Amino acid sequence: MSFVEPRSLIERAFSEKWALGAFNTSNLEMTQAIAWGLEQQNSPGIIQTSEGAIEYAGLQIIYDIVRDVSENANVPIFLHLDHGKSFEIVEKCILAGYKSVMIDGSKMSFADNVALTKKVVDFAHANGVWVEGEIGSIQGKEGMLKADIKMDDSMLTDPDEAIEFVIQTSVDSLAVSVGTIHGAFRGEEKIRFERLAAIKERVKIPLVLHGASGLPQDEITRAVREGIVKVNIDTELREAFHNTVMENEERMENNSVDPRKMLAPGRDAVQKLVAQKALVLGSAGKKVDPGV
């Protein structure tokens, strides 16, 4: 199945109150694992690349990998740019074929964030591309397992700023800071559901939850029930891949130097994790027609 258009898929999840998993990749094995995990659950989903992944693999190469793997899956998938920090990287991704992008100006002043996001929205919408913006501060870094980070209310998305941001930029979806942290900081993060409810009351477009790695299943399920439509998961996939590959390496025979034997178990572990997440997000069994 070729890439699907984001709008119909996201709007269906929005209206039916389930969420799309947005899983990060940087190579062939991770891409296959994500697609196969979604396929296992008959679930639509999103494969996304960060600027770091694009730098690592090359923009056209990673685009082609995700496109080709998705075309061989029988579930709806689209490709998304995660945390684009500049107009230039967004432009390059759109010209390469991305139909969904995120522009992250959250570390800027409100006015500068609005200006950058609006510039991206104008260009993206002229090319039929979905845009995710961000307001609020989500701390941490993808791939980190431990850090001394504490979220306080000053870092959370202000509901009044959120609606003003949406009005001024015309973004299609909004990433919000409601207590989660980038990375897998188990036991140290909690979704502030009162803040999420206050945002949802004002903002009527799909909301996005970043930093979901390590969150308890019941918190993710409740967040979806209360308005989250896209859930980003990266570090947890990396951790599953890394740990499995390292464990397998220790068991391998000394005379084996086949990279496929090293990487395949990691791919299998990520596939299993993606399949589990589809169940938690409510996207399992939500396969739709290719025309969506």
Burial category of 236 from C-beta neighbours within 10 Å (exposed 0-12, middle 13-18, buried 19 and up): buried
Beta pairing, strands 173-176 & 130-135: parallel
3-state SS, residue 23 = strand
Joined tokens for residue 53: 């992944």
* Cα 185 from Cα 70, distance rounded (Å): 31
**Helix H or strand E segment including 48:** strand 45-50
The angle at the Cα of 83, spanning 156 to 33, to the nearest 5 degrees, equals 115
Total number of residues shown for the chain: 292
CA distances from 114 to 128, 133, 166, 171, 270 (A): 20, 9, 9, 10, 36
Active-site residue, 82 included: yes
Closest CA to 178 of 132, 150, 209: 209
Residue in 64, 68, 82, 289 annotated catalytic? 82
- CB within 8 A of 57, min separation 6: which ones? 26, 27, 49, 65
Question: Which are the catalytic amino acids?
Answer: 82
